[in-house]
Structure 1
Amino acid sequence: MVAILLSLVFVGQNAAAAQEPKYGGVLRWRAVNDPPKLDPAMATDTSSSRNVYLMFDMLVDNDPDGKSIVPRLAES
């Protein structure tokens, strides 16, 4: 019974991930406490960093393998 329920949960997650992304709208984010800083250059704590990553996109990012840099907003 548990295996059936778990398989239904995973199937539902895969179906949701396969949908086309919806752009625009409103992001509502509940935080336990207020972030002390929202300046990306000064955000060194976890609370601030999470909020900064939601508000700002980066020019480049690390490749998942950690061996190279990949563009995000940058074109080259």
Structure 2
Amino acid sequence: MNSYEEEIIQLKEKIVDLEEKLKKYTNGNNHKNYYEKNKEIIIKKANENKKKLKETNPEKIKEYAHRAYLKKKEKLNNKSEE
């Protein structure tokens, strides 16, 4: 029993440590600041990627549009049910 309790304590400490490390990457305002500063560049890159995708694989765009339509339809159904 003692070894199990020690192992549980070690694992809980490890979880706390990993959660602290994860906060560094997920909860910071750095992501928001980056996108605010480089908004135009990001939009430009997204448009370029869209153009490349249109040329190389137009079926993918149809798939994306259909998926977006289904999600929008699902959200509307959820709102109307609530």
Q: Classify the TM-score, shorter chain.
A: 0.3 to 0.5
Q: Which has the higher helix share?
A: 2
Higher relative contact order (CA 8 A, sep 6+): 1
TM-score, normalising length: structure 1: 0.32
State the structure with more CA Rg.
Answer: 2
TM-score, normalising length: structure 2: 0.31
